[in-house]
Structure 1
Amino acid sequence: MPTLTKLYTMQEAAQHNTPQDCWIVIDGKVYDVGSYLEEHPGGDDVILATTGKDATDEFEDAGHSESARELLETFFIGELDLSATVIPELEISSKKQADCTQKLKDLTKQNWAIPVAVIGVSVVIGFLYLRKK
C-alpha cells in the first residue's frame, strides 16, 4: 500500500518561522528543521532567513555536500502543494506599486506650480535684462 505524502501550502510552511518551530521548503519539499538549527554549521539565522519562501536557491548556492543532502531528507515532513500556489508577496508588491503610483500622481498635481513659477520668473528676469540693453 503506497504511503500518502502530506501536502502543505507555502502559507502553512511560512507560519513555522521561529527557532523552536522552523520549516523550510527546498525543491518542492517541506522540512521541519527546528531540531537542527543549533547544529547547523552556518548558524540558525541562515536557515531562519529562508522561512516563508522557497529556499532552493539559497540551499544550492551554499554548496551543500551529499551528506548534508542526506541529513536534510531525515527532516522531510511533506511536499509543497503546488495546486494552491498563491504568492502573497506578489499581491503585496502590486498593491504597493499602485499606492506609489497614486502618491506620485497626487504629488505631481500638488507641485505643478513650483516649476511654472520658476519658468515664469526666469522669463520675466530675461525680458527685463534684455530690455535694459
Structure 2
Amino acid sequence: MPTLTKLYSLKEAGEHNTRDDCWVVVDGKVYDVSSYLDEHPGGDDVLLKATGKDATDEFNDAGHSKDAIQLMEEFCIGELDPSDIIPEEESSADKEVDLTKRIMDMTSQYWVIPVGIVGISVVACLFYMRRK
C-alpha cells in the first residue's frame, strides 16, 4: 500500500520560520529542520534565511556531501504542492540572448561616463595648447 505524502504550499512552509519551528524546501520536498538548527555546520541563520522560498539553488551551491543529503531524509515531512513548483530554468540559448540584451542595455545606459571623460580630456587639451 503506497504511503500518502502530505502536500504543503510554499507559503505554508514559509510560515515556519523561527528557531523553534523551521521548515525549508529543497528539490520539491519540505523539511522540518527545527531540531537540526544547532547541529547545522553552516549555522542556524543559513537555514532560517532559506525559509519562505525554494532553497534548492542555495542547497546545491553549498556543495553538500552524500551523507548530508541522506541525513535530510530524516527531516522530510512532505512535498511541495506541484502548483508552487517553479518551472525549469530557461534553456541556455534563452540565457545567452538575455545576457546579450543585458549587456546592450548596460552599454546604452552608461555611455555618458566615457563620453564625459573624452569631453573633459579634449577641453583640458585645448586649454593646455592655448597656454603654449
Whether these two folds match at TM > 0.5 is yes
Partner in structure 2 of residue 23 of structure 1: 23
Compute the TM-score of the two structures, normalised by the length of structure 1.
Answer: 0.62
Q: CA deviation at 1:82?
A: 1.5
Letter in 2 for 1:35: S
C-alpha contact (below 8 Å) 2:24/2:33 kept by paired residues: yes
Structure 2 counterpart of 1:92: none
**Structure 1 runs not aligned, ≥5 long:** 88-133
CA distance in 1, matches of 2:33, 2:85: 24
Counterpart CA distance in 2 for 1:40 and 1:48 is 11
Kept in 1, the 8 Å contact 2:28–2:85? The answer is: no
Change (3 A) 1:58 1:4: same
Aligned counterpart, 2:13: 13
Q: State how far apart, in whole Å, the 1-side matches of 2:6 and 2:12 are.
A: 12
CA 1:33/1:2 → structure 2, altered by over 3 Å: closer, same or farther?
same
Residue in 1 aligned with 2:121? none
Give the direction of change, closer, same or farther, for the CA distance of 1:56–1:86 in structure 2 (3 Å limit): closer
Could you state the TM-score of these two structures normalised by the residue count of structure 2?
0.63
SS of corresponding position for 1:12: helix
Q: Distance in 1 between matches of 2:73 and 2:85?
A: 26
**Count of aligned residue pairs for this structure pair:** 86
Give the superposition deviation at 1:86: 8.9
Matching of residue 69 in structure 1 with residue 69 in structure 2: yes
Larger radius of gyration: 1
Structure 2 CA distance for aligned equivalents of residues 64 and 31 of structure 1: 16
Q: Is there any run of 5+ residues in structure 2 with no aligned partner, and where?
A: 87-132
Per-residue deviation, residues 58-93 of structure 1 (Å, max 9, x unmatched): 00000000000000111000000022x399xxxxxx
Alignment RMSD: 1.4
